[in-house]
Chains A and B, each alone.
Chain A
Amino acid sequence: DQQVKQNSPSLSVQEGRISILNCDYTNSMFDYFLWYKKYPAEGPTFLISISSIKDKNEDGRFTVFLNKSAKHLSLHIVPSQPGDSAVYFCAARELTGTASKLTFGTGTRLQVTL
């Protein structure tokens, strides 16, 4: 059973526009959420995170929003750039688990077009 779901396998956005990637989770014990970015033939790299006590975290062009009541988070990229084209994974950490165990979604492939 997928506890972290990314229902959009792909997304295409024009350069300069906003990219919105969505993620839903089912486990209410998750207390920390992360986004990872993956280029072809490379491992995922950490992008941005948010604690469950917050509803927004911003880092440059990247903002993550968390809606705990809806068990939903989203990643906004503004403005989108061609270099943002990659697969984005949403991940969640369980409150009662050990500090480092993460559950990942299936990923969303973002393509930023010129």
Chain B
Amino acid sequence: DAGVIQSPRHEVTEMGQEVTLRCKPISGHDYLFWYRQTMMRGLELLIYFNNNVPIDDSGMPEDRFSAKMPNASFSTLKIQPSEPRDSAVYFCASSRRGQQYFGPGTRLTVT
């Protein structure tokens, strides 16, 4: 199995631009999670889906953040407009029962 796939691995964008991060979960997994890693707060859960349905988006920081999961094999996290404080590493993870498997992350830099 290829594991969780994320793209792009690195993204540099200017403040105000739209950013879209992509994730392909492990086949057969019914949970998908989006996390943000920062030095101050560690790994923060932004949102998670079960069977493509958003279950808990209480971690999404602002309305500028949105996430979709149109099917079982694809999810996006969009930031519009982006701000410098959004700079972080964003991880996608998937699970079927219990243990979560993480992708390699997308390092986002907003200048």
Chain A positions within 8 Å of B, measured between CB atoms, are 2, 6, 32, 34, 36, 41-46, 49, 89, 91, 98-107
Contacts and interface: CB of A to CB of B under 8 A. Distances in A.
B4 interface: yes
Q: Is the interface of B mostly helix, strand, loop or mixed?
A: strand
Nearest to A107: B42
Given A98-B50, A99-B97, A100-B98, A43 B43 contact: no
Contacts of B98: 32, 49, 99-100
B45 A101 contact: yes
18 contacts: A32-B98, A36-B102, A41-B104, A43-B4, A43-B102, A43-B104, A43-B105, A44-B91, A89-B42, A91-B43, A98-B55, A98-B56, A101-B48, A102-B45, A102-B100, A103-B45, A106-B40, A106-B41
Nearest to A32: B98
A107 B39 CA distance: 9
Contacts of B4: 43
Interface of B: 4, 31, 33, 35, 39-45, 48, 50, 55-56, 91, 93, 95, 97-105
Given A44-B43, A107-B42, A107-B43, 5 more contacts: A36-B102, A43-B91, A98-B50, A103-B45, A106-B40
B45 A100 contact: no
A101 B56 contact: yes
Nearest to A6: B42
Query: Top 4 A-B pairs ranked by shortest CB distance?
Result: A43-B102, A106-B42, A104-B43, A100-B31
Nearest to B9: A41
B42 A100 contact: no
